[in-house]
Amino acid sequence: MQIADLSYIENVLQQELILGSDGVLVMSEASATGLETFTFAISYSITETLSGSNSTSEGTGFAVAVGGEPTATVTVAGDGDIVIQKIKSKLFQNVATASGFIKTISL
């Protein structure tokens, strides 16, 4: 097959801007066993578009478990030009807590 008319195709000789993006993932989990247990888990995230193609995202998570064999985890992940994250976990006798924070910036 031969295509004779390609007049609608144009050459692109310049660099073109490709817009960037960023995002976060926050997961909070809590579990405990026994007759008297308490679990609580919450996560929150938000993304904001700044001037031009810049954007920022942030997220937080918290989990607590009370009872036998308590487990509390917070997982954070992000994608961007700048990623700042921190996770803390503590386990006491029958109480487990976890918290996490993440912030991403796309330039």
Where in the chain are the domains?
23-106
Per-residue pLDDT at 20: 59
Contact 61/97 with Cβ under 8 angstroms? Answer: no
Q: What pLDDT is recorded for position 55?
A: 87
Q: For the segment 5-41, what is each residue's pLDDT rounded down to a tens digit?
A: 666 555 555 554 445 577 899 999 999 999 999 999 9
Give per-residue pLDDT as tens, 58-85: 999 999 999 999 999 999 999 888 999 9
Average pLDDT over residues 84-106: 95
CA distances from 5 to 11, 13, 63 (A): 15, 21, 64
